[in-house]
Structure 1
Amino acid sequence: MEAHSSQSIASLQYADPQVDELLKHSIRTQLESLLKAKLTTEQRQLLLQKSFVDAMTLVLSYAKVEHLQLVKVFDNMYEQAVQSMAFAQLSQEQLTRQYVSASGLIMSPHNCKHTIKDVYRIKGYARGIDLAIQSKLKHASSITILYPACGPFAPLLLPLLSYYKDSQIFTSKQINVILVDVHPGAILSLQQLVKDLQLDDFILRIEAADATEYEPAESIDLLVLEAMQHGFTKEGQLSIAKHLVQFLTLDGWMIPQNISVRGEMVIGETEFNQQWKGMDYSHSLNTNESAQNNRVELGEILSINKSTLLNMQELELQDGVKVIPANQIMLPNDIQDMNKRILVIYAHINTFADEEVGQYDCGVTHPRPDMTFYIDTKPRDIEHTHFVANGGDTVQFYYQLTGLPGFIPAKV
């Protein structure tokens, strides 16, 4: 007994704070699900289905909807989805395992579950996907949609399918969906969520596979993909899109239709602090005109769409590292305070037609500072990671595909 007590105390003394926080979250989620268990399965599923439909009803409404109203319904959708995840009974490892694959970061279900409450990301995608589906079904009796790297909740599509089923706008005979994710925990969560939403008829299959290697048996009409972080870094969006674009039909579409990755030189205090004083939340509609005018635009670094992907050439360097040549940019040489500015890289996402996710609209479009990029100045201690250039220099950008993706500048 004494030995057992000593062992227990020792294990407590060496607890990992991060793991412990995740364990508390898991316990809390399980306890909340037990409270919900007082509801019948049917009652729980109806609440879940209603939360998804309510969110999409607001998103697809072209009437003005207040920000706080959107946040409220999205938070409810998130809470209901997390309850469904609890019923999937993921182990601690299945919930929290996160790692770097050959093509980028594979996020844990615990970390990527929050995407479903990222209001303006979901809004921009859902409205774009809705328009694309409507357009396709005007000329076809049915379509096949592939959604790789979809995470535990497939948030860009499952809420929309719930809305279609509830409103009977489209049926499962018209829309066939393939969901793909490499994470075992995401697959278990997806299976439970699809069952709880009663969307089985819309889902051709849920596949556990690496999206950069997956080969669908069917021709794909719509490829829906969002596997990126701010600054177009870390995750494997480009590697996945480059591989799967070949499976689109000749008139098939990618969602998003275009991602424009751009660079600008900013004064950090103006861009990230002063600009947002007095604002309740960041959004492209809330940017400050004075701060915008204070930027120095460098231009587009990379454009990702069906055409550029099909024509994209890889360079393989030593040790098998693969890069994509991006654009060349000539640095401006007439900016007096350039030595005080930092490079920020951001993505502007056109999902379909006029629907978009603009700068600051969500986590993936926030400008990302690059503190290793210097123009007209030098760091006190130059490290191998630093890039130093002068106004008037031409910079060739490359995009690293292997490991953690991101941009690498080189002087021409």
Structure 2
Amino acid sequence: MGLSKSQFVDVAQVLLSAPKGDIDKVDIKAMVDYLGTVTGILTSTDMNQSDKTETASGVAISPVQAAKCFEETVRTQLFAQGVAQAINDCIRENDAPVRVLYAGTGPYATLLIPLLAVSDNLPVEVTLIDIHQENIDAVHKLINHFNLGHYNIRTHHADATLWHPESSHDRFDIIISETMTALLKREPQVYIFKHLVQFLAPEGVLIPQLVSLKAWLTQGENEAANTELLGEFFCLDKSTSLALSQDDFSCFSSGLTIPDKDCSGYTVKLTTDIRVYGDLVLTEGDCSLNIAFNFSPYDVVLTANETIQFNYVAPSSPDFSIVFPKAQWQYSDYALPKSDDVGRLGLMQLKRSFQRAFMIKRGERFEVLDAEWHAELVIYDMLALNCSDVTAKMFELESFADFESWVEASTGDLSHTKVEAINDAFRRRIY
């Protein structure tokens, strides 16, 4: 059985007061189901039946997809609490009603409706914007359902990157927009703040207050113990938004210097940290907005004291272009293992091939004779391994022992007879 209205209000109270993560996902799902019933926009609907909108500054996700965001427990909890805290702080500091602008409400106005539903006559003036008429209609149903008409909530069906208030003198104490993905890709969060910040009062607050994108060096499987901060390559906050509103795009380009050390075996991880308001912070692992991006080791070049360049490519499909230093190739006089230098599996050529890939990752270059290469392909063919998969694993793994284990797991039974047959075929081809 679903929630009653009074039960919804009770759960909303918990949402707005519980410590981070200390709220049952079942309760969140019950809230979502309740809002879906009232609005007619259900998260169980196939997202392919709900259209997104392409804007000049990124994708406005579909009403159903926006509704599904409510189901991310910690994300919803911290954003809702952040908005509530910001409003309460403004109420304490101002005699006049707190003016709130919420851009990209989705169908549930997730960050505001629960607060208004549990409160009695908050001194607020609310303006809501969404690009989908379906969302605006849904929000009207919630306003009526929770008897919020006394707030005189103004709604606008508009693109938040283009919208202007009715009066050019209108200013807001709080501007809210949660229209983003991890690394500020695809959706128009940056450009919404760029545009709307001009309507923020001098002492006003943006929510989220800060979105920080960072790059890290990571090594091996024990990431927590082998992670080093390279630095922050982009930060979206009030000052950045104000600069962007003046067409100062310098923040869209930055560089981080690779440390003066041997970075062999390292790769790069990118993270998104969000300070919603005050000490309410979302970090890696909290929700989909904080999903880290890990580069494959063979996609990065980490040359000591060189620069990794970050450029925000915008606006129609926002994303970061990331350029690593160019590999400084040099032909090596390093002596590779001989073809008959075998490892635990007893297979010829594997150790030589793996070591060659290992050195290439570090900027060395080797001549490979055609006869050797074609003989090597015979081995992969007899092992029923795809050459591209083998090459990828050689570049991914840092030890030959791990590579042999992968070969063994991928090929199944490697009897002595089969190994000898493969080695004989290799000898015949190369010699």
Change (3 A) 1:48 1:298: farther
Alignment of 1:11-410 (within 5 A): 47-48=4-5, 50-51=7-8, 53-61=9-17, 67=22, 69-86=23-40, 96-138=50-92, 139-164=94-119, 168=120, 171-172=121-122, 174-217=123-166, 218-266=170-218, 270=221, 290-312=222-244, 325-338=252-265, 341=267, 343-370=268-295, 374-376=299-301, 390-410=303-323
Structure 1 CA distance for aligned equivalents of residues 4 and 198 of structure 2: 39
Q: Which runs of 4+ in 1 moved over 4 A?
A: 64-67, 91-95, 313-316, 370-373
> 1:313 touches 1:324 (CA, 8 Å); kept in 2?
no
Match in the other structure for 1:275: none
Match in the other structure for 2:396: none
Name the Cα RMSD after superposition. Answer: 3.0
Structure 2 CA distance for aligned equivalents of residues 405 and 323 of structure 1: 16
Q: Give identity over the alignment, percent.
A: 24
SS at match of 2:129: strand
> 1:259 touches 1:348 (CA, 8 Å); kept in 2?
yes
TM-score by length of 1: 0.70
Q: CA deviation at 1:334?
A: 2.1
Structure 2: unaligned runs, 5 residues or longer: 326-431
> Given residue 33 of structure 2, which amino acid in structure 1 is its aligned partner?
E
Q: CA deviation at 1:66?
A: 7.0
Q: CA deviation at 1:121?
A: 0.9
Structure 2 CA distance for aligned equivalents of residues 375 and 175 of structure 1: 50
Change (3 A) 1:95 1:109: farther
Structure 2 CA distance for aligned equivalents of residues 399 and 48 of structure 1: 45
SS at match of 2:183: coil
Change (3 A) 1:65 1:310: closer
Structure number with greater Rg is: 2
Change (3 A) 1:295 1:372: closer
> Given residue 179 of structure 1, which amino acid in structure 2 is its aligned partner?
L
> Given residue 147 of structure 1, which amino acid in structure 2 is its aligned partner?
Y
The one of the two structures with greater contact order (alpha-carbon pairs below 8 A, sep at least 6) is 1
SS at match of 2:234: strand
Structure 1: unaligned runs, 5 residues or longer: 1-35, 37-43, 271-289, 317-321, 377-388
> 1:256 touches 1:350 (CA, 8 Å); kept in 2?
yes
SS at match of 1:312: helix
> Structure 1, residues 133-183: CA drift from partner, whole Å, max 9, x if none?
11111122311100001111111111111121xxx3xx15x1111110111
> Given residue 312 of structure 2, which amino acid in structure 1 is its aligned partner?
Y
Structure 1 CA distance for aligned equivalents of residues 293 and 47 of structure 2: 30
